[in-house]
Structure 1
Amino acid sequence: MPIRVRSALVLTIATLTAAVLAAGPLPVAADAAGRDGALAGIDRIRTELHRHGPGADLLVAAHRGQWRDAPENSLAAIEAAVEDGAEVVEIDVRLTSDGVPVLMHDTSVNRTTDGSGAVSSLTLEQVRRLHLKEGLGGAAARVTEHPVPTLAEAMEVVRGRALVNLDKGWPFREEILQVLQQTGTVDHGLFKGSPDVAQAEAFMARDPEIEYMHVVDDGTWAQALQFSGRQPVAVEVIFDRATDAQAQPEYLSQLAGRGRVWINTMWESLAAGHTDETSLRRDPDLGWETVVQRYRASMIQTDNVEALVHWRDRGDIRFWDRQRGPRTVRVQAEEPRAGGEGVAYHDTDDNRCASVSPEQDRLDVCTLRGARSLGWIRGGEWVEYDVEVVVPGRYAVSARVSSPYDPAGTMVMTWDGEPGATLSVPNTTDHNALRRVAVEERWFDRGAHRLRIEMPSTEYQNFNIDYVQLDWLTRR
């Protein structure tokens, strides 16, 4: 395996902090000598970026920043991504009508701000009056106090600390390059695109500090092997099937011999079903381990920065969440107790996710970018689970849920026939934006317990449940 999963070094605000974690899923070379361990921040990251042979570290890229903690493409999201250990922060760049590069994924500001209109039709002054919405935005997302950043502001945040992947920016590369030159951060930027090779080579020739990543998919995969002089520092490989030409071992081996191999694991079509969520549920066939070992990834872009960094640094993925531990009990929402309709659960209509769970007649067991979850929840439905507690004590009960709506719905829990808490499911800004939410603390004796979750018919219900979790707190 050509890429090394890091064993100790984790990026913090400006330095690297040693962290010895539990043994993990991939073997790591024990000798850290020669890994530029004395370097810090951007110096270490840039040095590592240009290493792509055996022993090179896996680099983590945060998709749109750490949008789970702050609005996507905000300065706070960039800051959080760096603090959480990402070496690269992916940002999206658009031009205002007066030619200023700003951070915005969509061509319009509608989804992620309290404004409307195309970015290209708004001046910088107009864009700066807008406020970003929480998380991934959307109609029901809360408006925050965060403004839309300029690219120059973003580069000041990452200066000396991380690289930025300049997505959407190839058509504006001249304006972007000018900002990077003015801020002294040309060597912090990672330009990307899929132009013809001659155009990409000409742009790289402009400045030896320019870093370029070529994007290949079904239509452009052959281009990456046509660079005759200076090679792209990385190639972003996109494949929706394992049989795609760009996903074949010989081709990937050639890419890995020239530079870094970047693979995206945010959703299924980017890497043939290998996603963050399949990695979190430890699917033996789909996930980060296979992406590294079979597809030669040496850079992974993720929506789950903390989890990937934890796994990359040899942590046990079962316990990536800081609140989890060996005494944690997890109840998967797609696994009700035996009995079927009317006994173990009640679903008001036929299975709407039959392509995912054909074994289910009525229960909607769906996939959210690889996470197996209970979806299409409606009022009047309920489901029951058998829960086995090994260690008696007081536990914190939480639920991992998602919804783009507000209100999203209500979960009424009972334990062994006794009333539990009622959870008002929050707006997480997207069906795929699963978030663990605290429910209550309660005592559990050792042994079997029965959990019942009801969705009252008197309230609007439209959310997803990934799991309910019990985290042991104390014996008292």
Structure 2
Amino acid sequence: MTRKTRNVLIATALAAAALAGSPTVAPAVAAPPSTFDRIHDTLLRHGQGAPLMIAAHRGQWRDAPENSLAAIRHAIADGAEIVEIDVRRTRDGHLVLMHDETVDRTTDGTGRVADLTLAQIKSLRLKQGLGGSQAPLTEHTVPTFEEAVRTVQGRALVNLDKGWAVREEMYEVLRRTGTVDHALFKGSPTVAEAAAFMARDPEILYMHIVDDGNADAVGTFPGRQPVAYEVVFDDPADPQVQPATLAKIRDTSRVWINTMWKGLAMEYTDEASLRDERLGWRPVVKTYGASMIQTDNVEALDYWRDGGNLDHYGRQPGNRSIRIEAEDFAPGGDGVGYHDLDPNRCTVARLDEGVDICDLEGAIAVNWIRAGEWLKYRVSVPVTGVYDVSARVSSPYSPAGTVTLDWGEDTSAPIRIVTTTHHEAFEVQHLQRRHLTKGTHELVVRMNDNEFQNFNLDHLQLDRVG
């Protein structure tokens, strides 16, 4: 039953009761709105006061394989109202979730989706996270589109990427499952083509993608308008982000902006936001009027949306956490504050020194780490206690590297750095639990000799646990 039908039935029951005039029959009372009703109603609100909505890019791939049913469930649990999925057609005409044209990156199989049957694709296992040649296999399998929409039913919206060419097939699945109002179609066809598709069913939700080449499409839709425009820009002078154009969008629709990597919204990325909200999400919302953000950092964006200070995100309250940025190694140069074995591949900080400090989609990190290198840090401990030592790292390789933590008086056993499945997929990994006294300590992070080393280090963190 659709929302419209349900409301009509409630209204009819109320009217019948009123006409009967019976004092012994209580009038029907509408049930409180469901989670999905609230999300759907929020989607249809636009303008300056529209609340920010979060879209999870390929689901929550940090907790489950991208485009998996588990990734969809995790995204919703972590605060996303919308889950972006990628839809492709198999050789025998079924719709499945897959970002790439081939299954190579994300599964243990090979070949184009369009050349494989559903049975062949269902026999494959998905790889962890964002996949890749060295990502571990999981027990998850490739979902069908129908399985995906049944997973979100009553809980969230799905944003349908890669799917405009199969919109008719997707619509039929949605119609059959009663979930047309759960799906946000998207594309950059002609206005006439998009308007004709929307006219098929008043419950169809459509988002029009605009960039430099078609910004003049804004405001030209006849009749019913798109519920949102996905605005892609790499320069503040781009026509699609001029104040008058954005205001025209907000008059009838929502503004959707992507912050996963550079070039989608200039330099305003998720990782830049984690460094400083003024480098990412804040201007995306305040300057460009985004009321929907697609992100790879669902939990952090949800925390910020709720008023959280990103300076505190991922840290314990008070003085229980000590964070040391990877680029803040000790002064003194090579052999004193660090040891680096290869020529600089990139340098965005400490330009007169030899450490590879790179910008990875907004994260400032030490990169191109190799066996035999080391970094020295001075750690100021405010309170004596037991601390968990962790590192925020990224790497597509498995194993990604092996380090030891040298505190001067003793050195840890070798510690493995585990793959995160992508160079830009940073995650926090626990390294050691250690008792530290109040005062300043020296810590040398050594990349072990005779071990494969290829990971990126964003920061170290010590969290007091006792």
Q: TM-score, normalised by structure 2?
A: 0.91
SS of 2:138's partner is strand
Does 1:174 find its partner at 2:168?
A: yes
SS of 2:443's partner is strand
- 1:404 aligned to 396, 408, 425, which one? 396
Native 8 Å contact 1:96 1:119 kept in 2: yes
* Greater share of residues in strand: 1
Partner residue, 1:32 = none
TM superposition shift of 1:38: 5.4
Could you tell me how far apart the structure 2 residues matched to 1:361 and 1:71 are? 39
TM superposition shift of 1:218: 1.5
Partner residue, 2:24 = none
Native 8 Å contact 1:414 1:421 kept in 2: no
Partner residue, 1:132 = 126
Native 8 Å contact 1:385 1:452 kept in 2: yes
- In structure 2, do the counterparts of structure 1 residues 389 and 420 end up closer, same or farther at CA, with 3 Å as the change threshold? same
Counterpart mapping for 1:26-425 below 5 A = 39-282=33-276, 284=278, 286-321=279-314, 326-354=319-347, 356-357=348-349, 359-425=351-417
Aligned AA for 1:161? Answer: R
SS of 2:432's partner is strand
Could you tell me how far apart the structure 2 residues matched to 1:320 and 1:83 are? 18
Native 8 Å contact 1:421 1:440 kept in 2: no
Could you tell me how far apart the structure 1 residues matched to 2:456 and 2:368 are? 7
Native 8 Å contact 2:270 2:297 kept in 1: yes
Could you tell me how far apart the structure 2 residues matched to 1:192 and 1:389 are? 51
Native 8 Å contact 1:133 1:142 kept in 2: yes
Native 8 Å contact 2:259 2:265 kept in 1: yes
Partner residue, 2:427 = 435
Could you tell me how far apart the structure 2 residues matched to 1:333 and 1:303 are? 22
SS of 2:411's partner is strand
Could you tell me how far apart the structure 2 residues matched to 1:274 and 1:317 are? 15
SS of 2:300's partner is helix
Could you tell me how far apart the structure 2 residues matched to 1:341 and 1:441 are? 29
What's the Cα RMSD here? 1.5
TM superposition shift of 1:420: 3.1
Q: Deviations over 1:20-59 (max 9, x none)?
A: xxxxxxxxxxxxxxxxx95331100010001112432100
Could you tell me how far apart the structure 1 residues matched to 2:384 and 2:146 are? 54
Native 8 Å contact 1:351 1:360 kept in 2: no
Deviates more, 1:361-370 or 1:413-422: 413-422
Could you tell me how far apart the structure 2 residues matched to 1:418 and 1:75 are? 46
Could you tell me how far apart the structure 2 residues matched to 1:115 and 1:254 are? 46
SS of 1:420's partner is coil
SS of 1:144's partner is coil
Could you tell me how far apart the structure 1 residues matched to 2:285 and 2:32 are? 26
TM superposition shift of 1:414: 1.1
Native 8 Å contact 1:164 1:188 kept in 2: yes
Native 8 Å contact 2:106 2:127 kept in 1: yes
Could you tell me how far apart the structure 1 residues matched to 2:417 and 2:316 are? 20
Q: Deviations over 1:161-200 (max 9, x none)?
A: 0000000000110011011011110000000000000000
Q: Deviations over 1:123-177 (max 9, x none)?
A: 1111111110000000001111101000000011100000000000001100110
TM superposition shift of 1:320: 2.9
Native 8 Å contact 2:375 2:445 kept in 1: yes
Could you tell me how far apart the structure 1 residues matched to 2:53 and 2:352 are? 40
Aligned AA for 1:454? Answer: R
- In structure 2, do the counterparts of structure 1 residues 222 and 68 end up closer, same or farther at CA, with 3 Å as the change threshold? same
Aligned AA for 2:137? Answer: V
Instruction: List alignment gaps of at least 5 residues for structure 2.
Output: 1-30
Native 8 Å contact 2:277 2:310 kept in 1: no
Aligned AA for 1:447? Answer: G
Q: TM-score, normalised by structure 1?
A: 0.89
Does 1:451 find its partner at 2:451?
A: no
TM superposition shift of 1:423: 2.1
Aligned AA for 2:453? Answer: Q
Could you tell me how far apart the structure 2 residues matched to 1:41 and 1:101 are? 27
TM superposition shift of 1:386: 1.2
Which is greater in Rg?
2
Identity of aligned residues (%): 56
Native 8 Å contact 1:422 1:439 kept in 2: no
Higher relative contact order (CA 8 A, sep 6+): 1
Instruction: List alignment gaps of at least 5 residues for structure 1.
Output: 1-36
TM superposition shift of 1:258: 1.8
Partner residue, 2:461 = 469
SS of 1:419's partner is coil
Native 8 Å contact 1:131 1:144 kept in 2: yes
TM superposition shift of 1:242: 2.3
Native 8 Å contact 2:212 2:238 kept in 1: yes
TM superposition shift of 1:301: 0.4
SS of 1:295's partner is coil
Runs of 4+ in 1 over 6 A off after TM superposition: none
Could you tell me how far apart the structure 1 residues matched to 2:87 and 2:319 are? 43
Name the count of aligned residue pairs: 436
TM superposition shift of 1:418: 2.3
Could you tell me how far apart the structure 2 residues matched to 1:395 and 1:88 are? 37
TM superposition shift of 1:322: 7.1
Partner residue, 1:26 = none
Q: Deviations over 1:370-424 (max 9, x none)?
A: 1110000111111111111112211111111111111211111112442135321
